[in-house]
Every structure is written in structure tokens, then in C-alpha cells.
Amino acid sequence: MQLTNTQFRYGGVTQMLHWLIVLLIVAQYVLAELAEEAGADKAAHPAAALEQLALLARHKSVGLTIFGLAILRFVWRWISPPPGFPIAMPRWQIIAAKLTHYGFYGVLFAMPISGLVMSAAANYPVSYFGWFTMPNLVAPNDSLKELMEEVHETLFGVLVVLASLHIVAALKHQFVDRDDVLRRMLPWTSR
Amino acid sequence: MKALSVLVALICCASAAAEPNRWTIDYGASRIGFTAEQAQASFEGAFATFDAEVRFDPEALTESRVKVSIDTASIATANKERDDILKGTGWFESDTFKAAEFTAHEFVRAADGFEARGELCIRTVTAPVVVRFTLTETDGRLELRGTADLDRFAFGLGLGDWADTKWVGQTVHVAVTLIGRR
């Protein structure tokens, strides 16, 4: 498999980053939901508080991983530009696609940053899988913590909207336009 | 007989006179802080309210003594949820046990200052604690800076649900600054 992107196809590096980030976002959602359940349970069961702590620690570490991968992918775009849009694609669709793609980058950067600020504001420093501790971005601050929590949740909503658009568009390209836009991001198909 | 009682009285007075004066503590400038570990990252906290009876004089180590009473409900880690847990069941249980108390009678000179060998009582558990400290005096202003590493299990803190040291560190590093005058 070719590692760099070509004019017609995404290379191995971009494909790996794309699908790894998808996988980790799903894991993030599951961890966040489990942590929320444990959080709701902890008044009745003190053990749930420790479980919530452990789940959130994982959530933060996975989030930092996604942050790192998103930065890599953004840098890689400049080193190895993505394939162009199909010639038949209308201008408005190209604009929509670009907006969605840059929107993804925006969310993938803003979500971990808002999470880091939230943790620092709550005086819950973040360890990356027990390997190293992130510096606190801000001093403890209750109202900032609340604000960042809202921002983090809102960004997740934006991410869901973007992902829905992205998936619907990919399927439309595959089954309506019958072009290779989806296939070129799939590792097991060749041109 | 009379001579003996005079002698006894003299000895008593002599030892009483030798007891170092109680420092007047500047609580605004003094601090009992700590660093603990949670989810593999360290955070800082402090006890906002405490009462320190410090009778320490480097020239009278044998007669020196210290007693610090810490209001456990004044624990502050800049996170209300964590503070409430620490004040609650399995931890300081501040509703029942208002104060934790440190007392020291034994002081020795160490390489870089002094060592106070004392006892700390949290709830109903008393365990020995060694505080290493330095003392500096400038124009009568005394500055005592001490540190101690405490094993939370030695005081039965956070047993049961919170016992997993991967998520809640076992060692708590305490840093004390006492500012006062004789």
C-alpha cells in the first residue's frame, strides 16, 4: 500500500489516521457515557465514584491521543495533499465538503483543549496513561469549569452533526453518484 | 526537709522557665498544604484553619514542644466534590472528628535543620510522624518550613472503595510553613 496520498486515492498514513480516530472517538463516547452513569450512581454507591474517576482518567488519555493524531493528520495534509474532488462535483458540494472537513479539525482540536481546561479549572490534573502529567492550563476556577463542560458537550453535538453529514455524503457518493470518493478511503479496495 | 522542698521548687521553676515561649503565629502567612495523587496526577490542597502551639527554640530542644490542631472540615483542594468526599465517610469524617492533632516533644538536629518526632492523630488512629524542618529568623520573624510524607493507610484513610492506590495515591506529601514571633 502506498503511504502518501495520490491524486486519486488516500495513502496508508491518512487512512490509518482516519480510521484510528473514528475508532477512538467511539471509545471516547462509550467511556464518557459509562463515566456519566457511574457519576449518577455514586451518591448511592461510593465505589461508583472511584469507577467514575478511573473512567474519566481513561477518557482524558484517549482524548489526548486523538488530539495528537488529529495534529499529525493536519500536518500530514500539507506534506501529502489529499486527492482532489471528482470533476463532476458541483461547486456547492465542494464547499460543503471542505467546510465539513475543516470543521472536523476544529472540533478535534477544540474538544481536547476544552477538556484540558475543564480538568485544570476543576483542579483535576491530567495524566497521560500514568506516563506523564499535562501542565495545568489554567488556575482552579469553578465557573470556568462549568463553562468548559458546556463547551465540551456542545462540541460533541457539533461532532455528531458533522459526522452525520460526512457519512450521508460518503454514501451518496458511493450509491447515487457512483464515484470513488468513499472507496479511496477504504484500505481493502484498490483502484 | 525544708532545704529539699526549696530545691524541688527551684528545679520546677528552672524547668518551667526553660520552656520556650509560645510563638505568636501569623496565620495569614502560615500554611499547612499537601500534595496528593489522584488518577496518577498530583494535585495540591491545604487546610485553611488550624491552631498551632509552637514552643520551639533551637537553644532549648529538650524543652521544646509543638502541638498543632487542624480543623479537618477546612480541607480545601479547589474542588468541592473532592473536598466533600475527603470530609466524609472513610476519610476525615469531619462531622464526628473535628480536629486532627499533631504533637511533638522530641526534637533533634539534622543535617539541614531539625527533625520533629511526634505523633499525628486522625479520627481515632494515632501514628508516628517525622517532620523535617528548617528555621530561619530575621528581625525576630521566625519562619519554620517543614515537610513530611504520610502514608494514608497508616491512618486508615480511604480504605475500602478508595483503597486502590493506582487511582488514589498512598503517600501524601505535607508541606508546612509557620510564621511567627517569640
Would you state the pLDDT for residue B18? 73
Task: Tell me if A6 is assigned to some domain.
Answer: no
Which residues 81-140 of B are in CB contact (within 8 Å) with A?
Answer: 82, 85, 89-90
Query: Is the distance from CB of B58 to CB of B93 less than 8 angstroms?
Result: no
Task: Tell me if A5 is assigned to some domain.
Answer: no
Q: Which residues contact A160 (CB under 8 A, 6 or more apart)?
A: none
Rg from Cα positions in chain A: 19
Q: What chain B residue is nearest to A47 in terms of C-alpha separation? A: B161
Would you state the pLDDT for residue A42? 84
Residues of B in contact with A46 (CB under 8 A): 89-90, 160-162
Tell me what the mean pLDDT of segment B51-59 comes to. Answer: 96
Q: What chain B residue is nearest to A118 in terms of C-alpha separation? A: B79
Task: Tell me if A7 is assigned to some domain.
Answer: no
Q: Is B43 on the interface with A (CB under 8 A)?
A: yes
For B49, half-sphere exposure in the C-beta direction (CA atoms, 13 angstrom radius) is: 7
Q: Is B16 on the interface with A (CB under 8 A)?
A: no
Q: Mind listing the domains of chain B with CATH numbers? A: 20-181 (2.40.128.110)
Does the pLDDT of residue A37 top 70, yes or no? yes
Would you state the pLDDT for residue A47? 85
- The residue segments making up the domain with residue A152 are 12-185
One-character DSSP codes across B28-65: TT-EEEEEEEETTEEEEEEES-EEEEEE--TT-TTT-E
Work out how many CB contacts closer than 8 A connect A with B.
Answer: 53
Strand partners, A108: none
The tally of domains found in chain A comes to 1
Strand partners, B33: B46, B175
Residues of B in contact with A62 (CB under 8 A): none
Task: Tell me if A18 is assigned to some domain.
Answer: yes
Task: Tell me if A135 is assigned to some domain.
Answer: yes
Task: Tell me if A169 is assigned to some domain.
Answer: yes
One-character DSSP codes across A93-122: HHHHHHHHHHHHHHHHHHHHHHHHHHHHHT
Task: Tell me if A120 is assigned to some domain.
Answer: yes
Q: What is the CATH number of the domain that holds A112?
A: 1.20.950
Residue to mutate among B77, B79, B89, with most A CBs inside 10 A, is B79
State the DSSP code for B108: E
Query: Min CA distance, B170 vs chain A (Å)?
Result: 15
Query: Is the distance from CB of B135 to CB of B177 less than 8 angstroms?
Result: no
pTM over 0.95: no
Query: Min CA distance, B180 vs chain A (Å)?
Result: 29
Task: Tell me if A168 is assigned to some domain.
Answer: yes
Tell me what the mean pLDDT of segment B141-165 comes to. Answer: 95
Does the pLDDT of residue A63 top 90, yes or no? yes
